[in-house]
Amino acid sequence: MSTNRDKLSSSISLFTTGLVLCTALCSVITATSDKPNIIIIMADDLGFDDVSFRGSNNFLTPNIDALAYSGVILNNLYAAPMCTPSRAALLTGKYPISTGMQHYVIVNDQPWGLPLNETTMAEIFRENGYRTSLLGKWHLGMSQRNFTPTQRGFDRHLGYLGAYVDYYTQSYEQKDKGFNGHDFRDNLKSTHDQVGHYVTDVLTDAAVQEIEDHGSGNKSQPLFLLLNHLAPHAGNEDNPLQAPADELARFDYIGNETHRIYAAMVSRLDKSVGMVIDALARQEMLQNSIVLFLSDNGGPTQGTHSTTASNYPLRGQKNTPWEGALRSSAAIWSTEFERLGSVWKQQIYIGDLLPTLAAGAGISLDPELHLDGLNLWSALKYGYESVEREIDHVLDEDLEEPHLSYTRGKWKVISGTTSQGLYDGWLGERVTSEVDPRSEEYEDLIRNTSVWQQLQRVSAGERNISELRDQARIECPDPATGIKPCMPLEAPCLFDIDADPCERSNLYEEYQNTTIFLDLWARIQQFAKQAHPPNNKPADSECDPRFYNNEWTWWKDEQRSSSGTIVGMKEVSFFLIFILTSRWIL
């Protein structure tokens, strides 16, 4: 009798335990399934004027434009002026000076990365139930395995670890050192399956597959997908701009061959955006998704890695303190937004995206993260434009080229510059004689894209495309204060960015002794005192891919081999070391 009672008691206990576990599991599933999928598509070195929703008809980007007109055009999204600082700000929600990522970029042969004590966006979203996937570029450190994406919060990574690769061979060549190696991985494993395939297509196909796999088998778990394209960044020096022949043929009307290839590269990127939206629609994931498109910085029109990118009508280009380096052509879409089909003029920094998207996902962030980024979700959701944003764009105290760029509200301060001011002018232009033939029926082109049609199905509403396009243009009339030159190597410069977005009228002499400028300058000095020292380290010749089977790899964790065989340092047994040492002694 007691045995039966014990069995009954045990069964009730097991049932209760199971019920508790089921309840807990169900609550987790419910909590995660309510969270939106977050899809970020980031272009690399895309010029501010290289998306046609800004008004250019030189070559068109119908899918990106359709996303922009259907959603919210972020007219004042600011990024850092270069790849590594910008990506660090995105993933940490902090200024580069807060993490030591402010000086230049990580060159493949340099042994440093995003500090390991920094929490990434991917870690935060994964901790809150998301599947996290990075497809494409990393560029936040590769000399150690624990610098790499799957060690920093991403469940999946397919792509390259360094600065850029060839579009077909996925190799990176560092000519000044004589280094050349393959750089493409599926998680931690090097993969050559994609060699010979155009990398924009490779990453697009991977994104589509990720969405389809997720939608068909894992909808209860939200997806965080960061699609970091190589396009339209230049590849290796010997063949920097590459595009598939079928894409190139669409732009025969462009006379300059380099610019023709560049247009085709951007066009292929545009098609990628369309395919990602289509995949989300097929899997019925659009209704519960936030989709963001942006560039990591402005385009390089001239000089190193130049591509003919245009930041018209803004001043400067990539790796300068001017608007042409800092302003990103960006758009975001979600059914949560109350003003879809609008141009949002609120200043927003790339480091704001972490707290803003986290808020959109209902994630409460730990105050101990000490983010520099602001949560602008409510302002974005309801279309408010009243937040005065302070942005430390760049503060680099490098002895050779000290320079800074800082904005508070409408006021912007610049002091010092890069490349001795060689790229401080207005470099972009619109070639009005070379017009994409499709521009004659521009509105019909946009409305006939699958992107427009898919987004309209879940968020129908009238959109005045012509009006939105006009609102997204940046106009540069002659300043009311007159054109006053800025010589940032001689004295600081002050601009009213609201009235003078093209930075043509330097107001420093007028305001240098006023409270306005002195307060701005005092704040800059405060940032300088608090800045984290740059993490940059000198090049390390031990990285040479020839030592590691012609692969770019985490050389600090590997033992070099003249035969090209990779031997993991941690995998070499003490016994083997003992035997080898003994033989040497004998």
Q: What is the pLDDT of residues 292-322, one digit of tens each?
A: 999 999 999 999 999 999 999 999 999 999 9
The residue type found at 379 is: A
Q: Is the pLDDT of residue 572 over 80?
A: no
DSSP 377-393: HHHHHHT------EEEE
pLDDT tens for 85-139 read 999 999 999 999 999 999 999 999 999 999 999 999 999 999 999 999 999 999 9
- On the question of a cis peptide bond just before residue 313, with omega within 30 degrees of 0, the verdict is yes
d(CA 155, CA 395): 33
pLDDT of 16: 47
pLDDT of 571: 41
Q: Is the pLDDT of residue 585 over 60?
A: no
Q: What are the distances in angstroms from CA 176 to CA 179, 237, 550?
A: 8, 11, 17
pTM over the 0.75 mark = yes
What average pLDDT does range 318-328 have in this prediction? 98
Cβ partners under 8 Å of residue 500, min gap 6: 476, 479, 481
Lowest model confidence (mean pLDDT) among 116-125, 184-193, 442-451, 479-488: 479-488
Lowest model confidence (mean pLDDT) among 34-38, 520-524, 556-560: 556-560
What are the structural domains, with CATH classification, of the chain?
32-471 (3.40.720.10), 556-586 (no CATH)
Cβ partners under 8 Å of residue 164, min gap 6: 44, 137, 172, 230, 233, 234, 235, 236, 305
Q: Is the pLDDT of residue 431 over 80?
A: no
The residue type found at 397 is: E
Task: Lay out the sheet containing 390-396: strands in order across.
Answer: 390-396, 403-408, 411-415, 493-496
120: nearest Cα among 88, 77, 84: 88
pLDDT tens for 346-384 read 999 999 999 999 999 999 999 999 999 999 999 999 999
pLDDT of 429: 85
d(CA 346, CA 380): 8
Which residue spans within 313-355 are E strands per DSSP?
327-333, 342-344, 348-349
Model confidence at 583, pLDDT cuts 50, 70, 90, reads very low
DSSP class of 505? B
pLDDT of 7: 47
Cβ atoms 551, 181 nearer than 8 A: yes
What average pLDDT does range 530-547 have in this prediction? 96
Which residue spans within 409-477 are E strands per DSSP?
411-415
Q: Is the pLDDT of residue 563 over 80?
A: no
What average pLDDT does range 491-496 have in this prediction? 97
